[in-house]
Amino acid sequence: MRNKYSVFSLIKNALSYHENWQRAWKDPSPKKEYDAVIVGGGGHGLATAYYLAKKHNMNNIAVVEKGWIGGGNTGRNTTIIRSNYLWDASAGLYDHALKIWEGLSQELNYNVMFSQRGVMNLAHNLQDVRDLKRRTHANRLNGIDAVYLSTEEVKKFCPIINTSPDIRYPVLGGTLQRRAGTARHDAVAWGYARGADAMGVDIIQNCEVKGIKRNGDSVEGIETTKGFIKTKKVGVVAAGHSSVIANMAGLRLPLESKPLQALVSEPVKPIIDTVVMSNAVHAYVSQSDKGELVIGAGTDDYVSYTQKGSHQIVEGTLNAILELYPIFSRMRMLRQWGGIVDICPDASPILSKTSIKGLYFNCGWGTGGFKATPGSGDLFAHTIANDEPHKLNAAFNLNRFVSGDLVDEHGAAAVAH
């Protein structure tokens, strides 16, 4: 039985010097057979397992992770959550996730530190202004909160932004989604892992998938570094390594995996109480609860699995940050890292069945998957359990690259792609 976290459990454990906390999840060896196996123990994969157990009563399932849970892109992103996407399909998908975020800490009995501090997107030229106004209208038609701000209103909402008309890319306005914000990325993985484990899901770490066994057009199981696991349903949520798994099954995907970089500064006192993104100059920044500035840079243009990225990408982002926030000119950066993001030609994700029965893919989230974690898990669990997509992820099928019905969010969503 799982002990509930509460103020009483905190006091009780404080009295015993925090030496008797229960394990948050077990460390099982894989069974011979499962009803379904999720490949990839990041936020999306763990959320998928959690909702399969919770909403679809599939408890004889496992999550296999080649490293440790939350050690990939879940622990590498810049934790931004928003749903102000242009197209109806995307708006439906991301706002579904945002609605789950709003009650997630209570549902999981795990503080994911969800903070609705607002996300502001800046406009730096006339086309930006037109695009952002159009997006604001589209958002409101879809019931998503969005307002357009003038330069003065931008300055009022975030006073440290340099709104001088003399800078290279002056701030001409911006949009604000107040329900948007940030969450603690590790806590999301840990909370879902704890929740899934409590319902009987086996979370198997250090277990890399080496092959997918097929019988004709159906899945029979997976070869792993911990032996063969028999299963009729495999849900692959492997982010940057999706193509690697797809190649094992003889499946082709429209993905390219590229390094995306981020960095954090030394911790300072509270200075920026919102998230500011700027598409045109490619810089976004927020402040963590520890006080570090969390800065997101761009992707490199070549395929790489190295989790590094090029220096000029970081340099370009920091140039933009310095012009927009002169107050940061003497901040020192503490850490820089890269994650491998799988990017679709239309910059929208794939949550889909495939031509192989029992093989499902949840991939292509590219540079912006973290915000969708709960919604992605919920909808992917629905797709796996029913062998049919939910209406909110029906548009994000793999067949759209054949039919031409793309969800072209590239640049249209004020995303820094």
Q: Does 254 bind another protein (CB under 8 A)?
A: yes
What the block records as the tokens of 416 is 């820094």
Contact assessment for residue 298 and residue 416, using Cβ atoms and an 8 Å cutoff: yes
Choice between 33 and 208, CB closer to another protein = 208
Choice between 134 and 252, CB closer to another protein = 252
Question: What is the smallest separation between the CB atom of 244 and another protein, expressed in angstroms?
Answer: 5
Interaction residues for another protein, span 6-25 (CB under 8 A): none
Taking contact as CB under 8 A, which single stretch among the options 21-29, 84-92, 203-211, 251-259 is the one that binds another protein? 251-259
Provide the CA 186 distance to its chain's centre, in angstroms: 11
Choice between 15 and 402, CB closer to another protein = 402
Q: Which residue among 308, 357, 390, 410 contacts another protein (CB under 8 A)?
A: 308
What the block records as the tokens of 55 is 């909403």
Q: Which residue among 24, 213, 401, 408 contacts another protein (CB under 8 A)?
A: 401
Count CA atoms closer than 13 A to 195's CA, side-chain side. 28
Question: What is the smallest separation between the CB atom of 394 and another protein, expressed in angstroms?
Answer: 18
Interaction residues for another protein, span 190-249 (CB under 8 A): 241, 243-244, 247
Q: Does 320 bind another protein (CB under 8 A)?
A: no
Taking contact as CB under 8 A, which single stretch among the options 33-41, 102-110, 276-284, 308-316 is the one that binds another protein? 308-316
Beta bridge partners of 231: 34
| Residue 259: other Cβ atoms inside 10 A | 24
Phi/psi of residue 257, nearest 5 degrees: -100, 125
Residue 351, SS3 per DSSP = strand
Q: Nearest 5 degrees, angle CA 293-CA 262-CA 179?
A: 60
Q: Which residue among 90, 139, 224, 310 contacts another protein (CB under 8 A)?
A: 310
In single-letter form, the type of residue at position 329 comes to S
Interaction residues for another protein, span 323-342 (CB under 8 A): 342
Q: Burial of 402 by CB count in 10 Å (0-12 exposed, 13-18 middle, 19+ buried)?
A: exposed
Q: Which residue among 143, 216, 270, 404 contacts another protein (CB under 8 A)?
A: 404
Interaction residues for another protein, span 341-380 (CB under 8 A): 342, 345
Choice between 126 and 402, CB closer to another protein = 402
From CA 390, how far away is CA 401, in angstroms rounded? 19
Taking contact as CB under 8 A, which single stretch among the options 27-35, 119-127, 197-205, 306-314 is the one that binds another protein? 306-314
From CA 278, how far away is CA 120, in angstroms rounded? 8
Question: What is the smallest separation between the CB atom of 77 and another protein, expressed in angstroms?
Answer: 21
For another protein, what does the binding mask look like between residues 90 and 119, x meaning CB under 8 A? ------------------------------
Choice between 121 and 243, CB closer to another protein = 243
Q: Which residue among 16, 20, 29, 312 contacts another protein (CB under 8 A)?
A: 312
Q: Does 128 bind another protein (CB under 8 A)?
A: no
Contact assessment for residue 308 and residue 151, using Cβ atoms and an 8 Å cutoff: no
What the block records as the tokens of 17 is 């010097």
Question: What is the smallest separation between the CB atom of 300 and another protein, expressed in angstroms?
Answer: 8
From CA 224, how far away is CA 99, in angstroms rounded? 36
336-358 CB burial, b ≥16 within 10 A, e <16: eebbbbbbbebbbbbbbbbebeb
Choice between 342 and 378, CB closer to another protein = 342
- From the list 188, 181, 368, the residue with the least C-alpha distance to 286 is 181
Count CA atoms closer than 13 A to 334's CA, side-chain side. 10
Q: Which residue among 65, 256, 292, 378 contacts another protein (CB under 8 A)?
A: 256
Largest distance between two CA atoms of the chain = 67
What the block records as the tokens of 334 is 């503490």
Number of residues counted as binding another protein (CB under 8 A) = 26
What the block records as the tokens of 66 is 């080649």
Taking contact as CB under 8 A, which single stretch among the options 79-87, 104-112, 194-202, 295-303 is the one that binds another protein? 295-303
Choice between 166 and 301, CB closer to another protein = 301
Contact assessment for residue 35 and residue 231, using Cβ atoms and an 8 Å cutoff: yes
Q: Which residue ranges make up the site for another protein (CB under 8 A)?
A: 241, 243-244, 247, 252-257, 300-306, 308, 310, 312, 342, 345, 401-404
